[in-house]
Each structure stands twice: as structure tokens, then as C-alpha cells.
Amino acid sequence: RDYPDYYVIIRQPIAMKTIRRNAKARRYTSVADFHRDWKLMFDNARTYNEEGSMVYDDACTLQRALEATLSEKTGDSFATAMGTQSPLPAAFSAALQQSASALPPAAAPKASTSPGAVFAGNGVASPTAPSAPTDNHYDAVPNGDESHGPGL
């Protein structure tokens, strides 16, 4: 695995691919269940990545967009608190930083599924994404499998 410490830190990993598959299979019995999985993914991204990093900030931006869209479409409030859900102890964080240099470089990013695809055909508008930078800064799921890297 590209990020061996990920599963030590993140107890309930989930990927957009999993959420999309669950939505297509109609496994969500409520909008709240659908929201819960997205929030878990955003919380995981903020827990694993440093505050102020692009992944951390993108998790906040995407969560706000999702919650605004769900609130608008349902009339219920889906706004929830944002921030690192389980901060790492300083000693553990320092050890992770030291071991990071020993890890091989991440695999080249692959094309990813747009978060808006989850909304397609379900009568819910896709959130408007900000224009993407010229380089793709998202970490892709390695080899298209269910491994969950530190990115969204």
C-alpha cells in the first residue's frame, strides 16, 4: 500500500467510488445516510492531511457545497461542523513526518469520478466546482482498487 500509516490513523476509510456505487445501487435509505458517508470521507481527509493543505481545504469546500445543495433540495439543514475529527498526538505526528521520507512516491493520478456524478439522474443538482488548477493535486485511488489514500 502506498500509505501504510493511513489505516492506523483512519479507522473507517471510505472513497468517493464507494459512495457512488452505494448511490447507484440505491443502498442509501435516507438523505441523512448519504450525507453521513460524504461527511466521513471529508473528515478522513481532514484527519489525515494537515490543516491548510489543498486536500484539507478542498474537503472543507466540497463539504460546504454538498451540505448547501442537500439543504436547498430537502429543506432540512445539513450543515455540520468542520475540522480535524481526531487530532494526532504531537509525538505520533512527528514520527509520521520522519517516516514519510522513507515511503516511495505516490502513483500517478488516474482519472477520478466527479462528485457531481452521484447526483446525476436523481433529481438533485450537482454542486458547482471551482475551476481546477492546471495540475491535478488530488491523490487517485491506486490501481482503481478500494485502497483509500489520503486524498479525497
Helix, strand, coil tally for the chain in percent (to 5): 45, 0, 55
Average pLDDT of the residues of the chain? 73
Structure confidence at residue 132 (pLDDT): 43
142 and 107 in contact (C-beta within 8 Å)?
A: yes
Structure confidence at residue 63 (pLDDT): 96
Structure confidence at residue 83 (pLDDT): 65
Instruction: Kindly report the pTM of this predicted structure.
Output: 0.57
**Residue given cell 467510488 in the structure block:** 17
**91-130, pLDDT tens digit by residue?**
555 555 555 555 556 544 444 433 444 455 544 444 444 4
Residues in Cβ contact with 95 at an 8 Å cutoff, skipping those fewer than 6 apart = none
Structure confidence at residue 104 (pLDDT): 57
